[in-house]
Amino acid sequence: MSDSVPELAASLRPSVTRLYLSLRRRTPIAEYSAAQASALSVLASDGPMRMGELADRESIRMPTATALVDGLTKTGLVERRPDPQDRRAVIVSLTDYGQQLLDRVRGERDVILTTALNELSAADRAALAAAAPALDALRNQLERQQLDAGSAHDAPASTD
């Protein structure tokens, strides 16, 4: 294996992307889109937040965040309430139903991964277990870069 960071990035990217897409395809959720799933995941991991903070974390503009939250509100997955510290602002949070739906999807994905992992060799499972902390650190680094970039400038809207 090469020590070249660009080569490592080029090697990891397709596998990580395809892994995510494979999981998503195996657990389709009619209740929300990929963009909505991302917003739900942010709310689940980081808790209730202002609409502007959600827009920043998702690298989308406020009108896009508003439309996203409107759709999630209509399906009962999130709720809005006035910010007690600033009545002009809105706090967005998961509903119990939203959390239950996320828990169900995550559980289904865990079963799919468990089944696939059981089919791998013990050496492959050990390699993946050893890589898990580094992959988590990589995800955290990417999220920090995204937040830093969002605070430096207004990122264009994306629903990919």
Give the pTM: 0.76
Q: Which helix (H) or strand (E) covers residue 79, if one does?
A: strand 78-83
Tokens 């492959």 -> residue:
124
The answer on pLDDT for 153 being more than 50 is no
The whole-chain average pLDDT of the chain stands at 87
Q: How far apart are CA 77 and CA 5, in angstroms?
A: 40
| Mean pLDDT in residue range 58-85 | 94
What are the structural domains of the chain? 5-119 (1.10.10.10)
| Mean pLDDT in residue range 29-45 | 86
Structure tokens at 76: 């009962």
